Structure 1
Amino acid sequence: MRLGLQRVVMKAESGEPEEWVLLPKFRTEAWMPGLDWTEGRIPVAPGSNRGLEAGDGILGQAWFAGRVWTFDYPGRNLWLRAEGDLPKVAPPHRVTLGFPSDSAGKRQANYPRIQVRVNGETLDLLFDTGATLSLTESAQKALADERPAIRATSFITRSTYERWHQRHPDWRVIEDGDTNVPGSTLIEVPYIEVAGHEVGPVWFTTRPDPNFREFMSQFMDEPVEGALGGNALRFFRVTVDYTQAVAVFELVP
């Protein structure tokens, strides 16, 4: 509404009307790529859509698809790179991502799967630059870091959390920490290993097992146990080539 974007009303498969908007005509120096698969249209989410609390919308997997991006967390920049343009790093810091494809090799979705290691255990996670939680008042008091309640996180299934907590009772835990899912628990993992780097600490927020093992895994090439979010990626400049299914991690001092 504030931007006055052109509205397009279309009929969904259910027969119900769906509201979309078109990106404006940008100045040359302010251009941004559109959504190719929708001919530049962006769906309008209901005002109560969970996940929009910290902003006005979401640029998702379809927008990133087919392009090369650098997520420069320390520099607070997102860069669109030329096709095939990847930073040169040592082999351990260049990793292959998993994407679902059909029998003919055609990409079915663009949710990347990445492997990390926690205390020697390899986990398959969704590479999720948008993973977010909203801290409860009690969690804010426990953390006492004067940062916003809505912030980046990483997610883990409840079952994996229970295993971690049993094996490592010294790892810091905050009960009922996320207002988005009552009863969610936060656990601080001292360090994780990703793309040949060891970084931490990283807070993980629990989600019911079916959220990832059933729902999210249906869009992945293999089952996932959670998501690797911005609070773990914040140590890096991460360049992701969605076409080649490769990610390059540069540790920023």
Structure 2
Amino acid sequence: MPVTASGVTLRLRLDSGGTSFLFTGAVQRLGIPPGAAPESGVALPEFQERAWIPGLGEGGVRRDPPDTGRDGVQEILMPVRPDSGEWPGLDGVLGADWLQGRTWTLDYPGRLLLLRNPGDLPLHGPGERLDLLWGDFGHDPPGGMPGDRSGGGAGVPVIQVEVGGESLPAAILTASGAELTEAAVGAMGDLRAARRAITRVDASLFDEWRSRHPDWTVLEGAEEGTGEPAMEIRNLGVASSEIARLWVLRSGEGRVEIGGGGSVPEMVRLFLGGDVLREFRLTLDYGAGVAVFEPAGFP
């Protein structure tokens, strides 16, 4: 968690598919009185060296309207949103617009987020390196997936995975989550909380798998509120690793949330959440369009 120069600790959610913002309460804690924040947003404050994070636009993409930040750096303002009871204790979100243009390691086993030098990748074994497939990253994906090379949007990382022997593109959504019913949690028997990180599947793909794999267990009414079902898929291959079984949640039309900071091609119908990512030490080089998936048991 970053700590400002004045000693304020900010609790920020990392959302590779969303847009960055601060809640009103956090802005007030930073010493900006109610109503004083400009409509276009606020600049991130100075942070202590031991708990520092970069600002929007520092070495990343530029968005209008720009603001002249500290030391001549053109910094992008953070939008401000009303406080939300949905995320108690959170001060805001760091989204796709903050991640892009940089090289990061998301060390799930070590519970660390590391900012690396551009192009600095960890030592990795054969098969642990994947191209990021969307056009923003400069790679042509298989199967004719359209790519926008204009550089205009905040790209959401997309990789190629395998499910049940079928190869398909999947977006990496670090904030993908849901609240499951008590009955679903009991049936899954994985000892995890009802509110959890989870991988989501577009409704059309979920229904295809349900028809094609009748041996895959389906739990009706698994998601609290929506009543969407969950399915236990088999043999999810990510880079050189394979997850034998994984519960995924069906998402009805429009329910896979990609915020204003990110976008994915329409043909992407699988959205990997923290339940998959926690198995890895994941490095994302947004500049080079490369991902490295080190398994949780890495040396």
Give, in whole Å, the separation in 2 of the partners of 1:151 and 1:245: 29
Percent identity of the aligned residues? Answer: 38
Q: Among residues 23, 26, 29, which one is paired with 2:47 in the alignment?
A: 26
Matched residue, 2:183? 138
**Counterparts in 2 of 1:79 and 1:189: CA distance versus 1, 3 Å:** same
Q: Which residue of 2 aligns with 1:43?
A: 79
Amino acid at match of 1:35: L
Larger mean CA deviation between 1-10 and 150-159 belongs to 1-10
CA distance in 2, matches of 1:171, 1:117: 16
Corresponding position: 1:94 with 2:129: yes
1:234 equivalenced with 2:278 (yes/no): yes
Q: Where do 5+ consecutive residues of structure 1 fail to align?
A: 12-17
Task: Measure, in 2, the Cα distance between the counterparts of 1:156 and 1:48.
Answer: 26
TM-score normalised to structure 1 length:
0.83
TM-score by length of 2: 0.71
Q: CA deviation at 1:134?
A: 1.2
Distance in 2 separating the partners of 1:61 and 1:194: 21
Per the alignment, residue 125 of structure 1 pairs with: 170
What is the CA RMSD across the aligned residues, in angstroms? 2.9
Residue 88 of structure 1 aligns to a residue in which SS? coil
Partner of 2:246: 202
- Structure 2, unmatched stretches of 5+, are 1-24, 67-74, 137-146
Q: Would the aligned equivalents of 2:201 and 2:270 in 1 still touch at CA under 8 Å?
A: yes
Q: 1:215 and 1:22 mapped to 2: Cα distance?
A: 20
The 1:194/1:103 distance shift into structure 2, 3 A limit, reads closer
Indicate conservation of the 8 Å contact 2:170/2:269, yes or no.
yes
Q: Offset at 1:233?
A: 1.4
Q: Structure 1 residues 95, 84: closer, same or farther in 2, change over 3 A?
A: same
How far 1:29 sits from its partner (Å)? 1.8
